[in-house]
């Protein structure tokens, strides 16, 4: 229950799905958690829930496409809690399937802006803040960042790029004891895949389930535990790598 | 301290290095451990260390090149401890350094027999034993199973082979609840890399270190922590993947 005792963690996209469950888990393990999201209602409700269970949390509105929001987020963590040890750059979007020839530039750009540039925007102030004492950064990529995904070229490109960004940053900041890794989920039961505004349809879900040797989706908890291990000192020799939690889909 | 409570684990190559650290860590988390190795004295010493702190273990002499010894290992485990939940197929050798044209067929065969066929031999019997209740198998590959290594073609080939074997087996046995993954260590302070029989000398080790973003060799314990996580129920959605613990060499 104390894997992250005394640590301070930022979680982007923390109000729902994988981010939400990870925030709860980090708080249970002793971290003070800054939950960052565009959904203030859900974010504030999560803070209340965490505090009710004896944890410490704070909500900060965040649009990862806005550089100033990302800087303000790190400032808030430092001002409120005095330090920053962990960042889970997890905010991301998935759009309904479309073949490349029909892909509009605006939507292509939006996916890249949120999923890739959003991670970059978050990383920059986090790296500044962590240089003195080291830290652990986990960026949510996807198995679509490792394989091709027909119908989701923008998503796949953005997630491949998160891996490239992660690896390069790891090489640069290893000497400052900042470890940077990528989490690669397969199909996970979250609002992004199954909520009312999800870009997935039921046929896509069925196919993904059939494709996984474990023949089911992941629960978000099964990703949160991987993020926890990467955030903790158990992963002290781990950096610049990607961690696949996909029920065997990419085996 | 109870991540593996009630579980039974086999660790091959358990007498030294990563295997030794893993056997001890598994036992400290509640597993009953079978330490398998060709080195009897060193293997028994690991069992003694485990028992001294209240753990349960026994040693079995095993040459993984011999199918009947791998069968006997699983049989002895079932007889003594009644079940098999986890296998860490970690026994391996580095081989003789040298350019590919200078390798003799015997040297090539030796490395393939121990590092690849040895894993195959172990897995065949472990899979049969685990089919009823499921389980977790971790095969020690290497970062050299992901990239080329001049002067170590046999080792690199054998470790690429371990990854291919791991992925294929994972696809076959997911439906039986058996998860199978590969551990890819980087440069670790063990007899294989820093012992008197090691193929690394001070100069080559220094050169290798330059490629490590974290600027140091890894500890066997840091590999054991990854194996522990993969062996535990935390990894419930993880199969057919490889897990790199290399301080950033392959970033």
Question: Tokens 């194996």 correspond to what residue?
Answer: B227
Q: Mean pLDDT, to the nearest integer, of A242-248?
A: 98
Mean pLDDT of chain A: 97
pLDDT for A2 beyond 70: yes
* CA-based nearest distance B163→chain A, Å: 10
A135-140/A178-185 β-pairing? parallel
**What percent of chain A lies above the pLDDT cut of 70?**
100
For residue A2, is it within any domain?
Answer: no
Domains annotated on chain B, with CATH: 8-243 (3.40.50.720)
Q: What are the tokens at A136?
A: 């652990």
Q: Which residues from A are below 8 Å from B226, CB to CB?
A: 235, 238
For residue A118, is it within any domain?
Answer: yes
Rounded-to-5 percentages of helix, strand, coil across chain B: 50, 15, 35
pLDDT for A37 beyond 80: yes
ipTM of this predicted structure: 0.92
Q: What does the DSSP 8-state code read for residue B181? A: E
Q: Which residues from A are below 8 Å from B186, CB to CB?
A: 237
Q: Is A155 a catalytic residue?
A: yes
User: Which residue of B lies nearest to A213 if distances are taken between CA atoms?
Assistant: B174
Rounded-to-5 percentages of helix, strand, coil across chain A: 50, 15, 35
pLDDT for A161 beyond 70: yes
pLDDT for A1 beyond 80: no
CB-neighbour burial class of residue B82 (10 A; exposed 0-12, middle 13-18, buried 19+): exposed
How do residues B169-193 score in pLDDT, each as one tens digit?
999 999 999 999 999 999 999 888 8
Q: Which residues of B touch A (CB under 8 A)?
A: 167-168, 170-175, 179, 186, 212-215, 218-219, 222-223, 225-226, 229, 234-241, 243-248, 250-251
DSSP letters along B98-166, please? Answer: --GGG--HHHHHHHHIIIIIHHHHHHHHHHHHHTTT-EEEEEE--GGGTS--TT-HHHHHHHHHHHHHH
How do residues B14-38 score in pLDDT, each as one tens digit?
999 999 999 999 999 999 999 999 9
Q: Mean pLDDT, to the nearest integer, of A6-31?
A: 98
Q: Which domain holds residue A44?
A: 8-245
Active site residues of B: 155
Q: Cβ of A56 under 8 Å from any chain B Cβ?
A: no
For residue A3, is it within any domain?
Answer: no
Pick the more confident residue, B103 or A241.
A241
DSSP letters along A86-142, please? Answer: EEEE----------GGG--HHHHHHHHIIIIIHHHHHHHHHHHHHTTT-EEEEEE--
Residues contacting residue B58 through CB under 8 Å, at least 6 positions apart = B34, B35, B47, B76, B80
Cβ(A54)–Cβ(A60) below 8 Å: no
Q: Which residues from A are below 8 Å from B240, CB to CB?
A: 213, 248, 250-251
* CA-based nearest distance A240→chain B, Å: 4
Pick the more confident residue, A27 or B199.
A27
pLDDT of residue B200: 72
Q: What is the CATH number of the domain that holds A26?
A: 3.40.50.720
Kindly determine whether residue A174 and residue B238, on different chains, have CB atoms separated by under 8 Å: no
For residue A119, is it within any domain?
Answer: yes
Q: Cβ of A179 under 8 Å from any chain B Cβ?
A: yes
DSSP letters along A29-90, please? Answer: TT-EEEEEES-HHHHHHHHHHHHHTT-EEEEEE--TT-HHHHHHHHHHHHHHHS---EEEE-
* CA-based nearest distance B173→chain A, Å: 8
For residue A33, is it within any domain?
Answer: yes
pLDDT of residue B207: 87
pLDDT for B199 beyond 70: no
User: Which residue of B lies nearest to A238 if distances are taken between CA atoms?
Assistant: B245
Mean pLDDT of chain B: 96
How do residues B39-65 score in pLDDT, each as one tens digit?
999 999 999 999 999 999 999 999 999
Cβ(B65)–Cβ(B118) below 8 Å: yes
Q: Mean pLDDT, to the nearest integer, of A102-106?
A: 95
Q: Which residues from B are below 8 Å from A234, CB to CB?
A: 225, 229
* CA-based nearest distance A95→chain B, Å: 25
Beta bridge partners of A185: A245
Q: Which residues from B are below 8 Å from A186, CB to CB?
A: 237
Cβ(A42)–Cβ(A14) below 8 Å: no
For residue A250, is it within any domain?
Answer: no
How do residues A174-227 score in pLDDT, each as one tens digit?
999 999 999 999 999 999 999 888 999 999 999 999 999 999 999 999 999 999
Domain total in chain A: 1
Q: Mean pLDDT, to the nearest integer, of A32-57?
A: 98
Check the CA dihedral A163-A167-A168-A172 and report its sign.
positive
Kindly determine whether residue A171 and residue B171, on different chains, have CB atoms separated by under 8 Å: no
Pick the more confident residue, B204 or A116.
A116
């Amino acid at each position: 229950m104390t894997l992250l005792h005394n640590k301070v963690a930022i979680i982007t996209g923390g109000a729902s799905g994988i981010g939400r469950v990870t925030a709860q888990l980090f708080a249970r393990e002793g971290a003070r958690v800054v939950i960052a999201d565009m959904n203030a209602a859900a974010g504030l409700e999560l803070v209340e829930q965490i505090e009710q269970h004896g944890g410490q949390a704070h909500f900060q509105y965040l649009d990862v496409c806005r550089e100033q929001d990302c800087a303000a987020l790190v400032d808030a963590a430092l001002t409120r809690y005095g330090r920053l040890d962990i960042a889970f750059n997890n905010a991301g979007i998935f759009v309904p399937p479309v073949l490349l020839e029909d892909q509009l530039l605006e939507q292509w750009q939006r996916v890249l802006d949120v999923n890739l540039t959003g991670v970059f925007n978050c990383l920059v102030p986090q790296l500044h803040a962590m240089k003195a004492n080291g830290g652990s950064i986990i960026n949510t990529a996807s198995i679509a960042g490792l394989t091709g995904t027909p119908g989701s070229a923008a998503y796949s490109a953005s997630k491949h790029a998160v891996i490239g960004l992660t690896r390069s940053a790891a090489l640069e900041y290893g000497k400052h004891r900042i470890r940077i890794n990528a989490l690669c989920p397969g199909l996970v039961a979250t609002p992004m895949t199954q909520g009312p505004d999800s870009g997935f349809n039921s046929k896509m879900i069925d196919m993904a389930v059939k494709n996984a040797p474990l023949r089911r989706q992941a629960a978000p908890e099964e990703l949160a535990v991987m993020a926890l291990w990467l955030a903790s000192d158990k992963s002290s020799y781990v950096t610049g790598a990607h961690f696949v939690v996909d029920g065997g889909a990419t085996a | 301290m109870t991540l593996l409570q009630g579980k039974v684990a086999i660790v091959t190559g358990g007498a030294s290095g990563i295997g030794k650290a893993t056997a001890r860590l598994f036992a400290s988390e509640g597993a009953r451990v079978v330490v398998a190795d060709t080195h009897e004295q060193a293997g028994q010493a690991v069992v003694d260390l485990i028992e001294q702190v209240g753990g349960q273990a026994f040693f079995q002499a095993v040459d993984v090149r011999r199918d009947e010894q791998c069968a006997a290992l699983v049989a002895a485990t079932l007889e003594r401890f009644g079940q098999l939940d986890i296998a860490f197929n970690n026994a391996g050798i580095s081989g003789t350094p040298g350019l590919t044209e200078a390798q003799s067929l015997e040297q090539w065969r030796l490395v393939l027999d121990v590092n690849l066929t040895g894993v195959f031999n172990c897995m065949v019997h472990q899979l049969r034993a685990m089919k009823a209740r499921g389980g977790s198998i971790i095969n020690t590959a290497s970062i050299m199973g992901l990239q080329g290594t001049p002067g170590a073609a046999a080792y690199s080939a054998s470790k690429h082979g371990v990854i291919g074997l791991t992925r294929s087996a994972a696809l076959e046995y997911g439906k039986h609840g058996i998860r199978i993954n590969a551990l890819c260590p980087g440069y670790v302070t063990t007899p294989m890399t820093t012992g008197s029989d090691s193929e690394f000398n001070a100069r080559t080790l220094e050169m290798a270190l330059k490629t490590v973003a974290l600027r140091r060799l890894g500890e066997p314990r840091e590999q054991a922590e990854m194996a522990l996580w993969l062996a535990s129920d935390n990894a419930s959605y993880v199969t057919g993947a490889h897990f790199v613990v290399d301080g950033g060499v392959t970033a």
